[in-house]
Chains A and B, each alone.
Chain A
Amino acid sequence: MKPFKKLTSTILPLDRSDIDTDQIIPKQFLKRITKSGYGEFLFYNWRYSSKGNPNLSFELNDLKYKDSQILLTGNNFGSGSSREHAAWALLDYGFKCIIAPSFADIFYNNCFENGILPISLPNKIIEPLMLKCINKPTFKITINLLDQTISNISSSKSLIKFEIDSARKNTLLKGIDNIGETLHYESKIKAFEDKQGKYKGILPF
């Protein structure tokens, strides 16, 4: 996993709430057995007509945002299915950070597993920012994960702080492999299993 430290980019505004993972990556693309190549199918049913032509009114097809690495969206982003393909598709397309008022639990976790930074900000910041990005597609912000700040977001030029759990932050900053970390505690896993042994077939503990 690539570490996430700092990012300066324009922002693609997708002003909808409750976007579920079925929309992010529709089911017909879940049959592959690899992790890569899902970007071209991101938001497929919204991005293309049933004949496969680009739907020009959909934000992702707006060339002004084609290099945006930050997605700005509504409440409860990533709800529904646990498919990690949603995170793989967003990353493969080029999004490294998603800003929303809130995220669905499983999706939120899947982001960290793939080096994507999900940032929750209150509506009072999101709403004017959304307008700004719609009106000025060249508008850029800089996200600094170490300091947990976003620069240039408000007109006052002051930095905005965002919240993130310190362990999750560390995972992203260092691009840590969680499995490797957990395996440091293998002796504890073994001890747990040994204790469990005497209840075998009755209870898991």
Chain B
Amino acid sequence: MFDKIWDSHVVHKISEKEFILYVDLHLIHEVTSPQAFDGIRLAKRTVRRPDLTLATTDHNTPTINRNQPLKDKIAELQLKTLAKNCKDFGITLYDMKSPFQGIVHVIAPEQGLTHPGKIIVCGDSHTSTHGAFGTFAIGIGTSEVEHVFATQTIRQFKPKTMQINLTGSLPSGISSKDCILWIISQIGISGAREHVVEYTGNCIESFSMESRMTLCNMSIEAGARAGMIAPDNITFEYLKNRKHSPNHQSFEKAVKIWSTLKSDPNAKYDKVVDISVENIEPMVTWGTNPGMSTPISGKIPELASFGSEAEQLPIKRALQYMNLEAEQPISEINIDRVFIGSCTNSRIEDLRIVRDIVAGYAVNKTVQAMVVPGSTSVKKQAENEGIDKVIKDAGFEWRDAGCSMCLGMNEDVLKPYERCASTSNRNFEGRQGHNGRTHLVSPAMAAASAIKGHFTDIRSWKFKT
């Protein structure tokens, strides 16, 4: 599949390894684009294909009191700069007032812009999300953003391919978030470096598009260049009747072509990894990178299990930062905050799960919990389904769409030493706030821990509805 997409986008072959590839969709946001716009202005260049470029505001955007002026003037300047740049170069912008605004990796699929077979780039590492549709989607730096503006192409060294074949069937109550945290714990945070990962296996075939996006989203956390899943009927059904999907006759034609993209049965990969999903439990990270995780029934591992003293050092450091001790049971870790959101887990399916868990319960009095929908459309849909009411009744804050506390660029940050159960993708030091402590979990696990005040096994959750 990867080769088919690659080959069909080669504009020029520079050498055996380096290619110029055409970009079908360029997504931009306020944080990684201003310097690229400056660059093209300085060089007296222009945006070659504004019609293939889409902008939104997400990273810096407040999730509360949007009708008031921004408190953060530097952030406000960045948002205004994006608006001016989009106006100057004729690029469509979904700004804070738009009904289509949201996290860049949530809005492109929901608007029907992410199609199988496309090459999609964005100045954001979680662009890998779009691979769930059978696209080759990669995060790029700002210099490359400038390159795409000027040429609508990217220069790429051809990556290697890696098949991650998920064997067996996923136990009930286990989400694709648990699945990807398990995969990263198995192959390591640089286990897929220099590779494009294609996920295969029966359990993928039954995953919804939302679940597939979660899986591909965190491929970057295993170091992958991109994550991909072959398009199938679930993909086509998702795309049908979306705003920018091909309509009627052309849709049928498109499905025919999209259906040819899947990897051939005898496709060769540079690396093949089989991972059994039969015994996956709800996962919780305990350290300062996404590979440091353990099942909910487990404990913080003993230092000795990491080998030599040198190998134990980063673990020691992580436990010190997280204020945790070896052998501590995961279910006994108390939390102060819950964040449900981010490009990993903020789609309608995630919010429905949260609703089911919290219905009839109240957020623990020791916990401050918030839900940040991935897009304004997701927010509206959830409100139409009455999800917001259930969540608010339970005591969660119900915010406007954006990246929010996934990276804490806006006001949504942890206070020093606060401990958070988060559905986001990175538990790096200081990621959610200076000296903040992040545990990555699934939406169900985050919701349940908000109620209990500590991590708890959602497989034995007593639903009240």
Where the two chains meet, the residues of A that have a C-beta atom closer than 8 Å to any C-beta of B are 16-18, 20, 22-23, 26-28, 30-35, 45, 50, 75-76, 79-84, 87, 102, 104-106, 109-110, 113-114, 165-167, 177-179, 182-183, 185-186, 188-189, 192-193, 196, 201-205
B344 at the interface (CB under 8 A from A): no
Min CB gap A111→B, angstroms: 9
Min CB gap B251→A, angstroms: 8
Determine if B11 and A192 form an interchain contact, defined as CB atoms under 8 angstroms apart. yes
Residue of A nearest to B24 (CB): A204
Residue of A nearest to B73 (CB): A31
Residue of A nearest to B253 (CB): A202
Min CB gap B342→A, angstroms: 13
Beyond A105-B225, A106-B141, 5 additional pairs, beta carbon < 8 A: A104-B190, A104-B223, A109-B140, A109-B144, A201-B250
Determine if A188 and B426 form an interchain contact, defined as CB atoms under 8 angstroms apart. no
For chain B, residues 242 to 301, give those with C-beta under 8 angstroms from any C-beta of chain A: 246, 250, 253-254, 257-258, 289
Interface centre among A34, A35, A177 (most CB of B within 10 A): A35
For chain B, residues 155 to 210, give those with C-beta under 8 angstroms from any C-beta of chain A: 155, 157, 159, 189-190, 193-194
For A27, list chain B residues within 8 Å (CB): 407-409, 431
Determine if A33 and B81 form an interchain contact, defined as CB atoms under 8 angstroms apart. yes
Mask for B403-444, Cβ within 8 A of A = 1, else 0?
000011100000010000000001011110011000000000
**Which of B12-20, B103-111, B446-454 faces chain A?**
B12-20
Which one of B15, B159, B431 lies within 8 Å of A22 (CB-CB)? B431
Determine if B143 and A31 form an interchain contact, defined as CB atoms under 8 angstroms apart. no
For B115, list chain A residues within 8 Å (CB): 203-204
Determine if B430 and A22 form an interchain contact, defined as CB atoms under 8 angstroms apart. yes
How far does the alpha carbon of A80 sit from the alpha carbon of B219 in the complex, in Å?
11
**Which of B27-35, B357-365, B392-400 faces chain A?**
B27-35
Determine if A201 and B246 form an interchain contact, defined as CB atoms under 8 angstroms apart. yes
Where the two chains meet, the residues of B that have a C-beta atom closer than 8 Å to any C-beta of A are 8-9, 11-12, 14-15, 17-18, 20, 22, 24-25, 31-32, 34-35, 38, 43, 45, 48, 59-60, 72, 74-75, 77-78, 81, 115, 117-119, 123-125, 139-144, 146-147, 150-153, 155, 157, 159, 189-190, 193-194, 220, 223, 225, 246, 250, 253-254, 257-258, 289, 314, 407-409, 416, 426, 428-431, 434-435
For A102, list chain B residues within 8 Å (CB): 190, 193
Determine if A185 and B250 form an interchain contact, defined as CB atoms under 8 angstroms apart. no
How far does the alpha carbon of A193 sit from the alpha carbon of B9 in the complex, in Å?
10
For B430, list chain A residues within 8 Å (CB): 22-23, 26, 45
Known: A45-B434, A84-B143, A113-B141. A204 touches B117 (CB 8 A): yes
How far does the alpha carbon of A106 sit from the alpha carbon of B127 in the complex, in Å?
12
How far does the alpha carbon of A35 sit from the alpha carbon of B145 in the complex, in Å?
14
How far does the alpha carbon of A31 sit from the alpha carbon of B78 in the complex, in Å?
6
Min CB gap B48→A, angstroms: 8
Min CB gap B22→A, angstroms: 5
Determine if B223 and A76 form an interchain contact, defined as CB atoms under 8 angstroms apart. yes
Residue of B nearest to A34 (CB): B35
Min CB gap B352→A, angstroms: 29
